[in-house]
């Protein structure tokens, strides 16, 4: 991404951005270690992190990957009448299985991501709850078949580090192409309790979790590592993108020739604007979420980056009018306001 593609209204300075990148790489990195890498004190890192949270710019959460549990992720498009779309989005934000509740620029369509933890919950949501909602006039459910790993996780601040610093940070693990173990992972009641705590605060201390679920801190750390290794648990960051200098987020719904699907998805995953890209079922076979500095940047992205890809046969661009809920947080105007 070129510097001119991002507005200069970002509230983050260089140290803030370095901390953000470190958290994207390792969400639970010790502040003492990060301070050593950055050449500042542990207290400075901790103070900056608290400020980022208090200003509603970011939130770290532990997320559950449904694939190793034997279930799929769904991207759902819901049509409504314009006068009921906001009420629909607000209602969807209360569902724990739903995330990324977004009102599209048409004003009459809401999208969301569903990670049902059981077949019963999936069927209840897709076959009963959503179709019977009075605000819903149409529904398309896209099952995610394959998520393409990104070249670098958004928001792309690695250039602010030296090669030596990046080596010390290490590489972020990804759930993008993880198919899970041969048998689905079984979660205990304590596992579920721990995952709920991490959903609220991905950096919750081991001792705090241990006290709440009646384990030792050592056992919590060991089990957390096991769940990460199995692919069940991963850590994600929610951002208030407008406060970081980005004005436009949009979903792309693309059709490609089947033979070009893999290459096209991989190419889009390499674009710096891309936050998420996956091959899906449904009337389109590729879906991507992107961030742009402004509408002119979005236009350049569609015409130049996507226009250069031969495999795309059709595209629909749907900018977000308003995001009600991200992975784990609600948004109040341009700031993260509440953890669900």
Residue 46 has pLDDT above 60, yes or no: yes
What is the predicted pLDDT for the residue at 315? 97
Q: Is the peptide bond before 328 cis (omega within 30 degrees of 0)?
A: no
At residue 125's C-alpha, the angle toward residues 122 and 131, to 5°, is: 135
Alpha helix ranges (H) inside the chain: 14-25, 31-38, 42-54, 85-92, 119-123, 130-132, 163-169, 189-200, 206-213, 217-230, 261-269, 295-300
Distance CA(209)–CA(197), nearest Å, equals 7
Rounded to an integer, the average pLDDT of 136-151 is: 94
Residue 179 has pLDDT above 80, yes or no: no
Q: Per residue in 230-254, is it b (16+ CB within 10 Å) or e — as a string?
A: bbbbbbbbbbbbbbbbbbbbbbbbb
At residue 265's C-alpha, the angle toward residues 5 and 311, to 5°, is: 95
Phi, psi of 291 (to 5 degrees): -120, 135
What is the predicted pLDDT for the residue at 175? 46
**Given pLDDT bands bounded at 50, 70 and 90, which one contains residue 67?**
confident
Residue 196 has pLDDT above 70, yes or no: yes
Phi, psi of 163 (to 5 degrees): -60, -40
Residue 6 has pLDDT above 60, yes or no: no
Distance CA(206)–CA(227), nearest Å, equals 14
Rounded to an integer, the average pLDDT of 220-239 is: 93
What is the predicted pLDDT for the residue at 34? 98
Residue 180 has pLDDT above 60, yes or no: no
**Given pLDDT bands bounded at 50, 70 and 90, which one contains residue 182?**
low
What is the predicted pLDDT for the residue at 210? 98
Distance CA(189)–CA(222), nearest Å, equals 16
Label the pairing between strands 109-114 and 74-80: antiparallel
Phi, psi of 211 (to 5 degrees): -65, -35
**Given pLDDT bands bounded at 50, 70 and 90, which one contains residue 10?**
low
Distance CA(83)–CA(274), nearest Å, equals 31
Check: CB of residue 143 under 8 Å from CB of residue 74: yes
- Look at residue 284 and give its three-state secondary structure: coil
- What 223-227 contacts at long range (C-beta under 8 Å, 24+ apart), as own/partner pairs, is 223/190, 223/191, 223/194, 224/194, 224/198, 227/185, 227/191, 227/195
Rounded to an integer, the average pLDDT of 82-86 is: 94
What is the predicted pLDDT for the residue at 121? 87
Tell me the Cα Rg of the chain: 20
Cβ-based burial of 45 (10 A; exposed 0-12, middle 13-18, buried ≥19): buried
Share of the chain above pLDDT 70, in %: 92
Check: CB of residue 309 under 8 Å from CB of residue 264: yes
**Worst-scoring range by mean pLDDT, 70-74, 90-94, 136-140, 195-199?**
70-74
Is the CA virtual torsion 117, 122, 128, 133 positive or negative? positive
- The pTM of this model reads 0.86
Distance CA(111)–CA(320), nearest Å, equals 10
Using left for φ > 0, alpha for ψ between -120 and 50, and beta otherwise, residue 29 falls in beta
Is the CA virtual torsion 109, 115, 117, 119 positive or negative? positive
Query: CA 16 from chain center: how many Å?
Result: 20
Mean of the per-residue pLDDT values of the chain: 90
What is the predicted pLDDT for the residue at 166? 95
Residue 267 has pLDDT above 60, yes or no: yes
Residue 99 has pLDDT above 80, yes or no: yes
What is the predicted pLDDT for the residue at 1? 42
Q: Looking at per-residue confidence, does 115 or 260 come out higher?
A: 260
Residue 335 has pLDDT above 90, yes or no: no
């Amino acid at each position: 991404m070129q510097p001119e593609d991002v507005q200069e209204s970002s509230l983050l300075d260089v140290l803030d951005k370095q901390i953000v990148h470190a958290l994207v790489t390792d969400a639970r990195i010790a502040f003492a270690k990060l301070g050593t890498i950055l050449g500042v004190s542990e207290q400075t890192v901790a103070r900056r992190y608290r400020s980022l949270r208090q200003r509603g710019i970011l939130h770290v959460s532990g997320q559950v990957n449904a694939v190793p549990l034997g279930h799929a992720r769904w991207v759902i498009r819901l049509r409504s009448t314009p006068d009921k779309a906001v009420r629909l989005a607000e209602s969807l934000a209360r569902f724990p299985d739903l995330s990324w509740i977004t009102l599209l620029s048409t004003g009459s369509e809401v999208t969301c991501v569903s990670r049902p933890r059981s077949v019963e919950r999936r069927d209840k949501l897709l076959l009963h709850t959503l179709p019977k909602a009075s605000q819903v006039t149409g529904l398309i459910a896209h099952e995610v078949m394959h998520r393409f790993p990104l070249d670098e996780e958004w928001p792309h601040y690695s250039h602010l580090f030296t090669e030596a610093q990046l080596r010390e940070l290490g590489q972020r693990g990804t759930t993008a192409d993880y198919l899970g173990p041969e048998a689905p992972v079984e979660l205990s009641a304590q596992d579920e309790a721990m995952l709920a705590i991490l959903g609220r605060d991905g950096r919750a201390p081991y001792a705090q979790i241990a006290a709440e679920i009646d384990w030792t801190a050592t056992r919590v750390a060991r089990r957390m590592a096991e769940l990460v290794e199995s692919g069940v648990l991963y850590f994600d960051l929610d951002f208030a993108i407008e406060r970081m200098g980005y004005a436009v987020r949009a979903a792309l719904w693309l059709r490609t020739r089947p033979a070009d699907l893999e290459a096209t998805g991989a190419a889009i995953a390499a674009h710096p604007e891309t936050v998420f890209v996956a091959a899906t079922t449904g009337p389109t076979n590729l879906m991507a979420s992107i961030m742009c500095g402004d509408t002119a940047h979005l236009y350049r992205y569609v015409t130049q980056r996507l226009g250069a890809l031969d495999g795309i046969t059709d595209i629909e661009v749907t900018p977000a009018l308003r995001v009600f809920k991200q992975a784990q947080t609600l948004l109040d105007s341009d700031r993260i306001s509440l953890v669900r």
